Structures are given as structure tokens and as C-alpha cells.
Structure 1
Amino acid sequence: MSFYHSTRSSADPVTSKQAILAGIAPDGGLYVSDELGGRSLSLDEVCAQDYHDTARLVLGTLLDDYTGDEIARCVEAAYGPQWDTTEICPVSPLGTDWLLELYHGPTCAFKDVALQMLPQLMGVARGADGERIMIVTATSGDTGKAALDGFAGVDGMGVTVFYPAGKVSDIQRLQMVTQLGGNVAVCAVNGTFDDCQGQVKRVFADHELAGRLAGRGVALSSANSINVGRLAPQVTYYFDAYAQLVRREAIRVGDEVTFCVPTGNFGDVLAGYYAKRMGLPVRRLIVASNANDVLTDFLTTGTYDRRRDFHKTISPSMDILVSSNLERLLYFASDGDCELVASLMADLAEKGVYTVPDRVMDEIRSVFSCGRADDEATRATIRDAWRELDALIDPHTAVAKHVLDATPNDGTERVCLSTASPYKFCADVLAALGEVTDGMNGFACMDALEQLTGTVAPPQLSGLRAGEVLHDDVCDPDRVGAFVESACARVFL
């Protein structure tokens, strides 16, 4: 059986169930397994099965202390009628490249792939009589609603979401503040996503708070991509996309494929790296950044420096300066050097910057490429994709497409990951198409975008106009811990 341990220490190994329930390691590191890459999946098997079968195969490999029956029940519950296609994550043509559509779930964002699964995995790991769990998560826009939707009403669990006030789209905010459920809490934070994420990490490191909650039979866990139960389900869509290309006869089994991924917290593209280590023939993983290009700079220079201006962009889910999942890549690229990872993370916390040894950067660059797109380039890409390809894409997808278009084609088939419905960002998409949006609210923009393009907004988004605002709390960053404690008291006591 595979065991997991912190990226910062190989001591105190745990099972995948224990890692998923904990979310983050006690020393602040992220859980990893040294067995990753120890077993390659059969491409012939993957290419002969559907998404559900591949999900069972991937999760059974990464989380092997779950039984086959447990994994099968989780997959059935996570990828059922709440999706608008049985393909779950279909691949479609995008000019000479391909688009991996990750937005067909209940909240219209790629986070659904993992956050419909995570509550199922946690429920099995917790058991019928386990400790009550409060999920605490920070969101730059999409994780929040996906976590709320996934955990709402789940017995023995609650969910608390923090988002940066004024730095998510109108539709993203409404998705969160109208959320129904007696076990949910939502709070805007006066700050950036990094402020939210940093404070949530401090909550998990607050041993006094943990002690008080333990006395009430409550434990904290995370739904951010720092949780391995959030990361593992995302690996599936890389394998499934490959299988779809084989069935379309775009590639043959064994051919390499390149993926371009819009990312801020590095979880989505890291899942592609996991897939590569599990035997998927990946030529390159292209990291696409917006104006908050800390990852582009890191991959170019080998120095990660969060000491920079924060830019509010039209791709808000990528407005991140501290990419937490990069820590897992540093661990694997350094051949499991926990001492090095711990030192780098200490430098980031204390100095705001670290530099990676050349040998580690060489390993990273053997797989990863990078590029960036500012808002002007993003708008132009949205406009060109619609006019030239009849493809309506959201700003995050447009960042990736811009970077992919700027990358010389090396002869491999290339897949652009599309992470959200354009209707989650209808004002910015409408403006990119040349329409005036001054004075228009999100729903007016939604209606205008439908009329202009002849497309239809997903009902789970258009239906928000009838929703009642149920969560109007706002706090300063230093009050995040207090809000979590009060939410636990309200939900569980």
C-alpha cells in the first residue's frame, strides 16, 4: 500500500485516507507519495474505456487504501446526472489544436471535476462515526462555489469559504453568496486571494484553535488543491483527453501530446505532471499565466519572487502570487529532497523569494514551458476565437490559447485546457467582443452575450438572478480564524 508524507519531511507517513482528511501536513507541507510513477497505467486499457472507468483506474492507483468498491461508489456519485454530458470532459476542435472542456459540471468550472469527488472520498475516509469536519478553503473565484456545491448538506461536514472582496466576477460572487445549506458559511475578505490563502494556512497551523475545536469533536480540513484528494481526480481528465484523441484518430497509442494550462495555484497543470509520471506520453506542459506572471518568471529564471505588484485582471481565478502546488513539483524534481523543499518554503515565508538549484530547474524545464498574456492579449484572443473559429471562450481559456498560439508547434497534437464557461465572465467576454458594457450588471451582460452570439447561458448561471443573497459577511484578513471558529459553532453546535 502507498503511503503519503509531507513535502518537507518523510517522517510520520499516513495513508491516503488520512492525508485527505487532514488536507495539509502538520508541518505545513503538502502530502506526496513516493510511489507516484511506480506504476504506469496501460494506455491500451485507458483508450478502450470511458471517463468513469478511467477515473476508477486513476484513483485506485493513487489512493490505493480505498477498496475497489469504495472508489466505484465515489465515481458513480461524483460523475452522475449533475453533469450536462456523459463524456464529463469532452474534447472539441479548436482550429488546428484541441479544446478540453472542463466546465460541464454543476458550477461550470473545472473545479467540479475534483470537488464533486472530494466529498465522496472524505465521506468514505471519515466513516459513519468519524469526527465532524469543517472544510476551510480560500478561493480566487471558482473553488469556492464548487466546494460549497460539493459539500452542502453532507452529513457530519461543514464548509467555510473565503474570497477576496471585489476581486471575483459578479457571477462568481453570486454563486457563492446565494448558496443554500445549513452547513455552509461564506465570507468576503478585505484583501487579495493570497491574503485569503495565507490566512487559511495560518488557521491550519493554529494549534490552539485546533485544540478548542477538537474539544468539541470538530477537525479542520481543506478543499483547496493542497489536498491530495482534490488533486488526484484531476489526473483523470488528462488520460481521458488522450483516449478521446486516439478515438478521433488524431493520434495513435504511444504518440506524445502537449497540454497548455491556464494556472495560478499550479494544481491544474501539476495534475498533468502526475499523469506523465503515471505513463501518459506528454511532450510538454505549457504553463500559461496572466499579468500576475510569477510562474512565468520562475520557469524562466529559476527564482520564485512573490515581492511584486498584484494585478487585478479579467482572468481573476489566476490572480495569485503564491502558487502553493509548486511545492509538490519541487519535491519530485529534486528527487524527494525534503530538506531542500523545507528550506525553500522557509525562504518564501521569511523573505518572499527563493532560488532553485540548477539541477532541479533543469529537471523542471525538461517538462514545463511557459508564457503569459496580459488583459489586452486576452481580449484579442477571445475576439479572434469567436470570429475566426466560432469558439466562445472565457478569459482564463483565452490566456492559455494566446500562449499556445505563441508557442512554435513541434508536431505534436496540442490540447488547450478550457477551465470555465464564458458565461461566468460574461461582462469581460462581451466587452472583448466589442460591446459596450458600462452600467450593465452581470445578468444584463449575460442576456446581451446570448443575443450577440446565439449561444445559451448554462441554467445554473442564468438561474442565479432569482437567488437570494444569504451570505453577506465581510472581514479583515486577521479575522479569518475567528470567523472559522464561529462558523464551526453555528454549523455543529
Structure 2
Amino acid sequence: MTQNRYIDTRGLCESPVPFTEAVVNGLADGGGLYVPEHLPHFTLDEILELADLSYAERAARIYRAFDIDLPADSIQALMGEAYGENFDDEDICPITSLDANTHVLELWHGPTSAFKDMALQCLPRFFSASAEALREQGAIDHDFLILVATSGDTGKAALEGFKDQDGVRIGVMYPHGGVSDIQYKQMATQAGQNVHVWAVRGNFDDCQSAAKAVFGDAAFNDELMATRKIALSSANSINWGRLLPQVVYYVSSYAVLAGSGKIEPGEHIDVCVPTGNFGNILAAWYAKQIGTPIDMLLCASNENRVLADFINTGTYDISEREFVLTPSPSMDILVSSNLERQLFELAGRDGTAIRTWMEDLREKRSFRIDENTFSKLRADFSADSIDSAACFAAIKEVFEHHNYLLDPHTAVAYQAAQGLRGENPVLIASTAHWAKFGENVYRALNDIEPGGALPADIAALSGCELNDLIATETGLDYIPANLANLDETEIRFTDIIDSAPADVEQAVEEFLDQR
């Protein structure tokens, strides 16, 4: 079996590792992120042929092209489990066309109604298969703790994907008060004997920084291995096993658009993505590199516009930038972890440059890329920032003109696409079902300003009750069962912790002591 091996973005790994090791490690030694040593290439005909396959078959074919070190029949079986009846649409991620040139890729038909399911129904299965393969080879003899920082959606999707998996436990941290009522209840009610959830005092960046610090604490990691035979790993988008499933849906979507006659075979499209941690839009860039006819990547930021500013200036600066809580909380991020992978690729895979930029970001809270890298960035990306009022206006406009409800993240992308698009058809990544953010959807539809007080009778409703009201008033009555039944589900997790790494490590120890 041929193997595509994985290198790290900071050039500190002694030798490349196979896919199985990259997935179970999550983060490379020295803090770098894994990327494949070689990218496959699909011809246009090979991409178009995908339209005749099921989604699971498309995913398996793309994975096999990356020459991962698992048997082909295992890859096919794992994809069949990942993309089946756990999704509420047989197309897995169907495409709704608002007009002839504006297409919405619905990535939220999985068990938690967010785009993270597209990767997190896949990653846990491949993680377990990879760990088992490494155990059979004698490469490892330990279990794993998946430690996740979430701005809202990754946490629930990771919990759902890893619950009751053998040899794995999972702990999730989210910003206390920084997620929607629905997102909170989805995590706090999570079933499973191997799961735990913590609210963290602070914002998402505090959660993410704490997780990175724990991963980087050699003494703590050594103690976990020595006393518990447990290694830390990640289900955040820093894990290549999270990113590759996202590459799949962009390649697949092009095949579907062409196969259904919505675009001409070979016609280029632009892709617009609501962007926070940069993984979703990076996946579209990789899809372009392996042969998908994608032209421009449109990066949609909310009022936390660090990525839009970076793409437009070449300077990444959070030194004096205020963290803004917006109606699109999964994008409320100032430190975008996956940008490191993108810069590594655009800078000619120069690990020294990446180490310098990441050190500047850590120490100075800013860095500036060189002119050549900036020129390459601008050749592939354009970007805009959408404020909360414009986000709400987009939700109402699309409902009134197309009888279609966008969640606030997708609304940011829709609005950005209107200003950034050229002549190409645009594929907009829709990242969540509207009912995950019903309170702000209600505000948008009823001309209540962002953050404005709801009428007393509306404010008294639970998130589920408010969603029922919106569904009745709009006539769009489909609410996924996983969202509709939350009020009847017992709250299991109420812990609130500080974001200091020592506090997180203590919480992890207490969780591990429970079993």
C-alpha cells in the first residue's frame, strides 16, 4: 500500500508520519500542524464522475486518493457509517439554489445540525481505526483523551461523534455565556459515559489558548502517560482528520452542481465561507489545489474582522483588537488556528517563516507576511466584514425574497458574497440550521436590533419554544429532532472553571478520576 506521509508546518518533526499517526497525534511536535507531503490531483472527468456515486462513496474515493494507510475496504466501510441514516437527508449535504448563480451548500443535516458534523461523524471513526491499527503494529499501547475548545458547534459535534467510543474519552470547553441557549443545552445534556463538558470564564480564544497550553505542557502530558496510560489528542480543526472531510464536500458539491446542470462542466465557481478558525475555507482551498474548478475564495468575517483585515493588508494584528460578541458566535474568534496551514502552503512550505510569524503573534500579538506570500494570498482570497445589522438584514431579505431562512453565520456569508462576487456562480457554505440561533433569527425577522431586548412574552420562552414560534410564523416548520427535544432532556454538566491552564488540568484530572 502506498502511503502519503505528513509533515508539520513548523519544520520541527524529525520525519514525516503516516495518516494514522497524524490523526491520533492531532498536533505535531513543536506545536505545528500536519499537512500531507503530497496532494493528489483529480481531472475534471474524475470529479464529474463523482456525481454518480453516493456521498459516502465519493468521500471514500477522495480519501483513497490521499493514499492513507488504512485498507480500502475499511475506508469504504467507515464512510458508510459516517454518512448514512445519521443524516436527515440522503444527499447528506444538499444544495439549495436561491437563483441561477447563488447556491447554498447545506452542511447541517447531521445529528447536531451544524457543519461540524460533516467532519465529526467521520473523524472519530477514523481516529478509532487509526488507533487500533497502531496498537496492532505495537506503535502505541495507551488510550486517548480528546480535549476540545469550542465556540459553540464543534463541541456538541465532537461529543456526539466520540461518545462511547472504546479507548477514548472526550472533554469539551466552551466560553461561559458565549454560546446560544440551544448550543448550551446541546452540550450540557450530552449522553455518553466517556464525556464531560466545562463552561470556561472567558471567550473562545481563552478556551483555545488554554487547550493549546495544556497540549504543550510536557510535564502534565508525561504524567498522564505514566500514571494513566492516556495521551491527549484533538478534535479541533487543527487535526488533519477534521480538515480532510471538509475537502470532500467541496469537491463533491462541484460534481453535484455540474451533474444537475446548474453549472457547465469546467465552469469556475467562487466559494464564500463564514470564517472564524479558517478550517472551512482552507478546505475549499485544498479542494481547488487538487483539481476542483474553484476560482476565488470569499472570506466572510463578522465584526471580529481580523481575517478580513489580514487578507486585505497582509498584517495580522490583535494587539489592541477588541473581542466582540456577535449574533454569529461560532465566528467570534481572533486567533485563527488553521491560518497557519494556509500560510505554510502559500509561503512555499517554509517552516522557518511560520515559526517566526507564530512567535511574533505569541509575543507581539501581530505579524506581517512578506510581499510574495501576500501576493499569493490575494490571488486566491478576497474578504469582507459584515456587521450585525447587515447580518440581520440579510436574514430578513433572503426570507422575504426566497422563503428561505439563514442562520446568522450563513447570513454573514450571504451578505459578504453580494459585495465580493464577480461573474462566477457562488457556492455559499451554510454552516448551521437556523433553529440553533432562533433568538437572533427572531430579532432579524421582527426588526429588533442586534442585542436589543425581546418583548417580555418572547423573552420568557425557552429556545425550543421560540423556535416553534418562528416555525409557525414563517411556515417553515421543519426543526431537527435533536433541537426540538432539548427542553425535555436532563442537564448533565454544570461545571464552570477558569481558563488558566492549571485549572483546566485540574478539571481534566477530576474527570479522569470519575472512571
| Fold similarity call, TM over 0.5 | yes
Alignment gaps of 5+ in structure 2: 136-140, 448-454
Per the alignment, residue 205 of structure 1 pairs with 216
Distance in 1 between residues matched to 2:213 and 2:15, nearest whole Å: 21
Q: Structure 2: which amino acid aligns with 1:370?
A: A
Shift of 1:63: 5.1
Residues 237 and 408 of structure 1, relative CA distance in 2, 3 Å threshold: closer
Q: Structure 1: which amino acid aligns with 2:131?
A: R
Per the alignment, residue 452 of structure 2 pairs with none
Shift of 1:254: 1.5
Say whether residues 1:22 and 2:25 are aligned partners: yes
Say whether residues 1:3 and 2:5 are aligned partners: yes
Say whether residues 1:379 and 2:379 are aligned partners: no
Per the alignment, residue 129 of structure 2 pairs with 124
* DSSP-derived class of the 2:145 partner: strand
Shift of 1:66: 1.8
- Superimposed CA distance per residue, residues 129-188 of structure 1 (whole angstroms, 9 cap, x where no aligned partner): 542111100000000000000000111111100000000000000000000111001000
Say whether residues 1:112 and 2:117 are aligned partners: yes
1:161 to 172, 177, 186: 172
2:333 to 317, 320, 337: 320
- Superimposed CA distance per residue, residues 79-116 of structure 1 (whole angstroms, 9 cap, x where no aligned partner): 11110011000011123411000000000000001000
Percent pairwise identity: 42
Q: How does 1:320-339 map to 2 (within 5 A)?
A: 320-339=333-352
Distance in 1 between residues matched to 2:188 and 2:67, nearest whole Å: 33
Distance in 1 between residues matched to 2:195 and 2:514, nearest whole Å: 10
Distance in 2 between residues matched to 1:265 and 1:339, nearest whole Å: 22
Q: Structure 1: which amino acid aligns with 2:504?
A: V
Contact (CA 8 Å) 1:4, 1:13: kept in 2 or not?
A: yes
Distance in 1 between residues matched to 2:68 and 2:43, nearest whole Å: 14
Distance in 1 between residues matched to 2:514 and 2:364, nearest whole Å: 38
Distance in 2 between residues matched to 1:15 and 1:488, nearest whole Å: 29
Per the alignment, residue 179 of structure 1 pairs with 190
Q: How does 1:82-481 map to 2 (within 5 A)?
A: 82-96=86-100, 97-127=102-132, 130-215=141-226, 216-307=228-319, 308-410=321-423, 412-434=424-446, 436=455, 437-455=458-476, 456-478=478-500, 479-481=503-505
Distance in 2 between residues matched to 1:187 and 1:205, nearest whole Å: 20
Contact (CA 8 Å) 1:250, 1:413: kept in 2 or not?
A: no
Contact (CA 8 Å) 2:106, 2:429: kept in 1 or not?
A: yes
Shift of 1:489: 3.0
Shift of 1:11: 3.1
Contact (CA 8 Å) 2:464, 2:485: kept in 1 or not?
A: no
Distance in 2 between residues matched to 1:311 and 1:145, nearest whole Å: 23
Shift of 1:343: 0.6
Shift of 1:12: 2.5
Distance in 2 between residues matched to 1:119 and 1:438, nearest whole Å: 38
Distance in 1 between residues matched to 2:508 and 2:63, nearest whole Å: 31
Shift of 1:40: 5.7
* DSSP-derived class of the 1:13 partner: coil
TM-score computed with the length of structure 1 as normaliser: 0.97
State which drifts further: 119-128 or 301-310: 119-128
**Paired residue total:** 490
Distance in 2 between residues matched to 1:102 and 1:177, nearest whole Å: 23
Residues 269 and 63 of structure 1, relative CA distance in 2, 3 Å threshold: farther
Contact (CA 8 Å) 1:264, 1:317: kept in 2 or not?
A: yes
Residues 275 and 93 of structure 1, relative CA distance in 2, 3 Å threshold: same
RMSD (Å) for aligned C-alpha atoms: 1.4
TM-score computed with the length of structure 2 as normaliser: 0.93
